[in-house]
């Protein structure tokens, strides 16, 4: 019986492959039962017997991609259920990714219309690998450098930064191959490496001619781009081009804008220099700055500080509010820790684990504090917005380096204030302006190089996307882009092809490129979406519900809000209306920045949310206009979990035939119809119109439910869970523990009371 089993399997290549897989795993279990006594020769035989039948398959390598090692047969477990089923195939490790090619012919990849051109759904790029676990004798161990040496595990579990989980069984392949592939993957994914080893610098892909969308995005890498932006926002600040060669500072952007009164740029290598972010139509503006070095002579320090704050104040009406973000927001380490905790809830190995964790879902999420961090950031941004919009005061936000939380808060405030940044190109331009040109240390924060010292690592940019997602989720029609766009963007951070996320500063970028690839420009930008998706797939980036502005987005000419603007002498300090902290002595200013303490700007200090309620409620009462100020609701029930990003790979939460895709598809269809009709009318060609059979054309096309295209995780996790069976929770018995005796009470208390 035992002996016959493999023969049965191998002799029957005509039986359906899924059945084969089932047999395979049954076989694995048998092997497990028999233990290591199972003769190794038999396994060899199986392999030999199998080989001639199997077609040799290779991944479609990208230009510049090289295979480091491969192994076959490897069993890749499907996540769908507990049965530990899987498919056999070859596992490759290249200089770009870990990829698995199934022995089965799969239709999924050819049929889907949301396909990434750079990697497939079953690939994981080297920089996207988060952790690797090895299963040794049923025990799961985290793989670190030390463990890699000799032993290799029977099962390898890869947790990815995009929250996918892959499980591979290594026991079917030759020991030598298994060792090689395991060591190869562990080495290339986990070991510290140098920047030039990243795939971006081997990639020889050519950027396609379809660069339309990229070109619309303002890259902020030339003085012209900045001038344009300054003109658009009508700022009176001054563009600095003196840092063209990074002579002023290597930490500052190549080009930047400062308050017009600042003349001396040379001191402290630009530290503490207020960098202009955005100007409100009233004239007040938002600035960001890094801390001044503290080891200064006191007098010098204060003098410098005064100059800077005065310069900001001078920008408009001589009022300024400053905020030290490190005081009121979580630190980069807090953010990292919270996210580490948070993401664990989505890296689920099997269904049992899923249902067990389902019961404590809400408190688990809360305990990570991630949603609270999102709320705090949005809250801070609303406070900044309130200063600019309501009080028309200049705002200066500060932070140690001025390139993390400053980028985050300033971008969020700009999205809330300026509808331009809610368009696709506007948003991309904003990321370029604040984050890329603004010198956010992407390389260190994402830890693309697997540096052992993880202090620098922190998902600040992801946090920004999370906050934007909250806004999109609450105020959908205000945004031209969809949540799918944000999800794809968050994935792209870990695709080591785009130079956008590979450097720590503008100087870093420029100096590195000069050395490594003197000819190439700067590598492809992530905004060149055609590298990843064809134009049809890119349609999913657009929000069909976006309420386009009828008139072109011309900024309203500023109407003076307050009389004081006209009557105010520009030299005198002005106490801002209401609870301003900016008293008329410069001393208090110094104290403020010096001691790094500012109490909350408004309202009671213990309840920051209450402080902005008034502002929020006043805004809420105003007529809704998606093309003006936008504020998020910050109450607990309004902050949601980014389901698409976090739950897309978990089959237990996929809704067959449901989810927001049902709406999106229908809306896109309707929009297309409206556009078709418009075109017909615009042509004013009645003969053309006659041809258009409106009735058949306008009937909603029946969607076939159950087709894998219509699953809540769409357009992700396409090939997962195709069966149309409900997912019945397990382990309900232990679910609700009630402490009172209500559960044991009788259902009908007044059974014998006569009916009313």
The interface with other proteins within residues 732-751 (CB under 8 A) comprises 732-733, 735-736, 738, 740, 742-750
List 266, 575, 588, 694, residue binding other proteins (CB under 8 A): 694
- The residue among 593, 614, 17 whose CA lies nearest residue 313 is 593
CA-to-CA distance for 74 and 187, rounded, in angstroms?
19
Q: Which residues pair with 240 in a beta bridge?
A: 256
Smallest gap from residue 161 Cβ to other proteins (A): 20
Position among 3, 52, 63, 623 found at the interface with other proteins (CB under 8 A): 623
Among positions 666, 709, 719, 722, the unique one binding other proteins when judged by CB under 8 A: 666
Indicate the pairing of strand 97-102 with strand 86-94. antiparallel
**Total count of residues recorded for the chain:** 756
Instruction: Kindly tell me the burial class for residue 535, based on how many C-beta atoms sit within 10 Å of its own C-beta (0-12, 13-18, 19 or more).
Output: exposed
Q: Among 182, 339, 435, 616, indicate the residue that binds other proteins (CB under 8 A).
A: 616
Contact residues for 413 (Cβ-Cβ < 8 A; gap 6+): 277, 278, 286, 381, 384, 385, 388
Tell me which of 656, 716, 720, 721 binds other proteins, using CB under 8 A. Answer: 656
- Residue 335 beta carbon to other proteins: minimum distance, rounded to whole angstroms: 17
Nearer to other proteins, 110 or 741 (CB): 741
Contacts of 709 (CB under 8 A, 6+ apart): 112, 718
Residues 59-118 binding other proteins (CB under 8 A) are none
Q: Where are the alpha helices (DSSP H) in 390-423?
A: 405-417
Binder to other proteins among 171, 475, 539, 565 (CB under 8 A)? 475
Neighbours of 494 (CB within 10 A): 19
Are 427 and 464 a contacting pair, CB within 8 Å?
no
Give the whole-angstrom CA distance, residue 592 versus residue 551: 44
690 lies in the binding site for other proteins (CB under 8 A): yes
Structure tokens at 59: 């991944």
Task: Select the residue interacting with other proteins from 66, 82, 111, 667 (CB under 8 A).
Answer: 667
Nearer to other proteins, 481 or 616 (CB): 616
Listing DSSP states for 123-135 in one string gives -EEGGGEEEEEEE
Beta-bridged to residue 711, according to DSSP, are 656
Token couple for 265: 């740029």
The only residue of 30, 67, 239, 365 in contact with other proteins, by rule CB under 8 A: 365
For residue 49 the two structure tokens come to 């017997």
Report the candidate in 161, 376, 402, 135 with the shortest Cα–Cα distance to residue 277: 402
Choose the binding region for other proteins from 139-147, 382-390, 481-489, 690-698 (rule: CB under 8 A): 690-698
**Binding of other proteins by 355 (CB under 8 A):** yes
What's the min distance (Å) between Cβ of 737 and other proteins? 9
Least spacing, CB of residue 714 vs other proteins, in Å: 13
Site string for other proteins, 491-530 (x = CB under 8 A): ----------------------------------------
Q: How far is the CB of 384 from other proteins (least distance, A)?
A: 20
Which lies closer to other proteins via its Cβ, residue 173 or residue 713? 713
Of 477 and 580, which CB lies nearer to other proteins in the complex structure? Answer: 477
Q: Which of 185, 285, 371, 436 forms a contact with other proteins (CB under 8 A)?
A: 371
Q: Which of 120, 453, 438, 495 is nearest to 288 (CA)?
A: 438
**Which is nearer to other proteins, 533 or 615 (by Cβ)?**
615
Q: What are phi and psi of 538, to 5 degrees?
A: -65, -20
Cβ proximity to other proteins, 50 vs 654, nearer residue: 654
Is the Cβ–Cβ distance between 75 and 27 less than 8 Å? Answer: no
> Using the rule CB under 8 A, is 353 a contact of other proteins?
no
Q: Would you say 295 or 755 has its CB closer to other proteins?
A: 755
Work out which of 245, 696, 725, 754 binds other proteins, going by CB under 8 A.
725
User: Binder to other proteins among 314, 391, 654, 720 (CB under 8 A)?
Assistant: 654
CA–CA separation, 498 vs 32, rounded Å? 45
Kindly state whether residue 698 participates in binding other proteins, applying the rule CB under 8 A: yes
Closer to other proteins by Cβ: residue 360 or 564: 360
Q: Least distance from C-beta 175 to other proteins, angstroms?
A: 41
**Residue with smaller CB distance to other proteins, 433 or 654:** 654
Q: By CB under 8 A, which span of 49-57, 252-260, 400-408, 677-685 interacts with other proteins? A: 677-685
Query: How far apart are CB 608 and other proteins at their closest, in Å?
Result: 9
Query: Of these, 662, 709, 719, 722, which contacts other proteins (CB under 8 A)?
Result: 662
The reply on whether position 660 binds other proteins by CB under 8 A is yes
d(CA 602, CA 385): 13
**Listed ranges 278-286, 301-309, 556-564, 633-641: which one lies at the site for other proteins (CB under 8 A):** 633-641
Q: Report long-range pairs for 165-168 (Cβ below 8 Å, ≥24 apart).
A: 165/79, 165/347, 165/348, 165/349, 165/649, 166/76, 166/98, 166/100, 166/122, 166/124, 167/76, 167/77, 167/79, 167/86, 167/349, 168/74, 168/75, 168/76, 168/77, 168/91, 168/100
Task: Candidates 14, 110, 686, 696: give the one binding other proteins (CB under 8 A).
Answer: 686
Rounded CA separation 164/131 (Å): 11
Decide if residue 705 touches other proteins (CB under 8 A).
yes
Residue 657 CA to residue 666 CA, distance in Å, equals: 13
- Could you tell me the smallest distance in angstroms from the CB atom of residue 540 to other proteins? 17
What span, in angstroms and rounded, lies between the C-alpha atoms of 79 and 139? 19
724 is an interface residue for other proteins by CB under 8 A: yes
Q: Which residue in 360, 564, 596, 597 binds other proteins (CB under 8 A)?
A: 360
| Whole-angstrom distance, CA of residue 179 vs CA of residue 423 | 49
Q: Which of 372, 400, 401, 534 binds other proteins (CB under 8 A)?
A: 372
Decide the pairing of beta strands 394-399 and 97-102: unpaired
For residue 169, which of 85, 93, 74 has the smallest C-alpha distance?
74
Name 474's Cβ contacts closer than 8 Å, sequence gap at least 6. 632, 633, 638
Applying the rule CB under 8 A, the residues between 555 and 614 that interact with other proteins are 609, 613
Q: Which of 712, 714, 715, 717 binds other proteins (CB under 8 A)?
A: 712
Q: Sheet of 394-399: strands edge to edge?
A: 275-279, 285-290, 394-399, 320-324
Q: Binding segment for other proteins among 54-62, 159-167, 585-593, 635-643 (CB under 8 A)?
A: 635-643
Q: How far is the CB of 385 from other proteins (least distance, A)?
A: 17
Angle (nearest 5°) at CA 208 between 203 and 210: 145
> If binding is defined by CB under 8 A, does position 234 make contact with other proteins?
no
One of 64, 205, 283, 477 touching other proteins (CB under 8 A): 477
Size of the site for other proteins (CB under 8 A): 97
Binds other proteins by CB under 8 A, chosen from 354, 541, 582, 642: 354
- For other proteins, which stretch binds (CB under 8 A), given 381-389, 460-468, 596-604, 628-636? 628-636
* Residue from 362, 514, 571, 606 binding other proteins (CB under 8 A): 362
Among positions 333, 604, 620, 707, the unique one binding other proteins when judged by CB under 8 A = 620
Span of 46-54, 395-403, 425-433, 631-639 interacting with other proteins by CB under 8 A: 631-639
Cα first-last separation, the chain: 71
Least distance to other proteins, CB of residue 88, Å: 29
């Amino acid at each position: 019986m035992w002996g016959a089993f493999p023969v049965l399997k191998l002799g029957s290549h005509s039986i359906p492959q899924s059945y084969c897989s089932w047999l395979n795993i049954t076989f694995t279990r048998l092997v497990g039962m028999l233990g290591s006594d199972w003769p190794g020769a038999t396994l060899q035989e199986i392999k030999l017997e199998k080989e001639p039948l199997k077609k040799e398959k290779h991944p479609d390598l990208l230009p510049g991609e090289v295979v480091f090692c491969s192994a076959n047969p490897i069993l890749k477990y499907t996540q769908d259920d507990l049965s530990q089923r899987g498919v056999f195939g070859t596992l490759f490790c290249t200089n770009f990714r870990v990829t698995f090619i199934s022995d089965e012919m799969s239709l999924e990849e050819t049929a889907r219309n949301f396909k990434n051109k750079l990697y497939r759904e079953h690939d994981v790029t080297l920089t996207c690998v988060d952790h690797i676990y090895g299963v040794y004798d049923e025990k799961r161990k985290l793989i670190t450098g030390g463990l890699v040496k000799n032993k290799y595990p029977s099962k390898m579990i890869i947790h990815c930064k995009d929250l996918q989980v892959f499980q591979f069984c290594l026991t079917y392949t030759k020991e030598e191959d298994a060792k090689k592939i395991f060591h190869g993957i562990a080495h290339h994914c986990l070991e510290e490496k140098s920047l030039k080893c990243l795939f971006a610098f081997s990639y020889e892909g050519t950027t396609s001619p379809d660069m339309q969308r990229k070109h619309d995005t303002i890259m902020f890498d030339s003085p012209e781009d900045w001038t344009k932006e300054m003109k658009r926002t009508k700022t009176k600040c001054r563009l600095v081009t003196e840092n063209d060669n990074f002579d002023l500072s290597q930490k500052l952007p190549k080009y930047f804008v400062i308050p017009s009164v600042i003349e001396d740029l040379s001191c402290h290598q630009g530290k503490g220099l207020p960098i202009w972010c955005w100007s409100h139509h009233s004239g007040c503006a938002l600035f960001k700055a890094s801390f001044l070095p503290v080891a200064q002579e006191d007098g010098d320090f204060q003098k410098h500080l005064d100059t800077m704050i005065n310069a900001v104040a001078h920008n408009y009406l001589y009022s300024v509010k400053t905020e030290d973000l490190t005081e009121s927001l979580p630190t980069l380490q807090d953010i990292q820790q919270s996210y580490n905790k948070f993401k664990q809830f989505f890296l689920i190995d099997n269904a049992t684990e899923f249902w067990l964790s389902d019961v404590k879902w809400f408190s688990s999420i809360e305990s990570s504090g991630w949603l609270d961090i999102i709320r705090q950031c949005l809250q801070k941004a609303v406070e900044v917005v309130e200063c600019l919009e309501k009080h028309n005061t200049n705002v200066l936000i500060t932070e140690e380096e001025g390139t993390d939380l400053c980028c985050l808060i300033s971008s969020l405030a700009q999205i809330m204030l300026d509808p331009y940044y809610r368009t696709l190109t506007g948003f991309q331009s904003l990321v370029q302006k604040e984050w890329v040109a603004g010198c956010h240390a992407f390389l260190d924060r994402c830890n693309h190089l697997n540096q052992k010292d993880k202090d620098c690592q922190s998902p600040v940019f992801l946090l920004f996307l999370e906050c934007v997602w909250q806004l999109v989720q609450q105020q959908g029609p205000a945004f031209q882009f969809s949540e799918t766009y944000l999800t794809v963007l968050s994935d792209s951070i870990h695709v080591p092809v785009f130079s956008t996320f590979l450097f720590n500063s503008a100087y870093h970028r420029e100096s590195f490129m000069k050395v490594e690839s003197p000819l190439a420009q700067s590598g492809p930008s992530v905004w060149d979406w055609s590298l990843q998706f064809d134009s049809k797939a890119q349609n999913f980036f657009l929000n069909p519900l976006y309420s386009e502005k009828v008139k072109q987005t011309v900024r309203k000419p500023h109407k003076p809000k307050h009389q004081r603007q006209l009557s105010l002498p520009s030299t005198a300090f002005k106490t801002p209306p209401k609870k301003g902290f900016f008293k008329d002595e410069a001393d208090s200013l110094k104290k403020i920045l010096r001691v790094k303490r500012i109490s909350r700007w408004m309202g009671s200090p213990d309840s920051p949310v209450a402080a902005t309620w008034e502002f929020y409620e006043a805004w809420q009462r105003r007529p809704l206009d998606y093309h003006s100020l936008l504020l998020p609701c910050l109450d607990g029930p309004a902050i949601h979990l980014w389901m698409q990003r976090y739950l897309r790979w978990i089959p237990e939460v996929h809704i067959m035939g449901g989810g927001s895709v049902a709406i999106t598809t229908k809306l896109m269809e309707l929009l297309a119809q409206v556009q078709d009709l418009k075109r017909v009318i615009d042509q004013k060609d009645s003969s053309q119109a006659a041809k258009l059979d409106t009735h058949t054309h306008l009937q909603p096309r029946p969607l076939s439910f159950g087709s894998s295209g219509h699953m809540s995780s769409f357009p992700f996790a396409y090939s997962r869970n195709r069966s149309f069976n409900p997912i019945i929770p397990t382990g309900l018995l232990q679910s609700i523990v009630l402490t009172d005796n209500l559960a044991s009470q009788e259902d009908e208390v007044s059974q014998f009371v006569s009916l009313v």
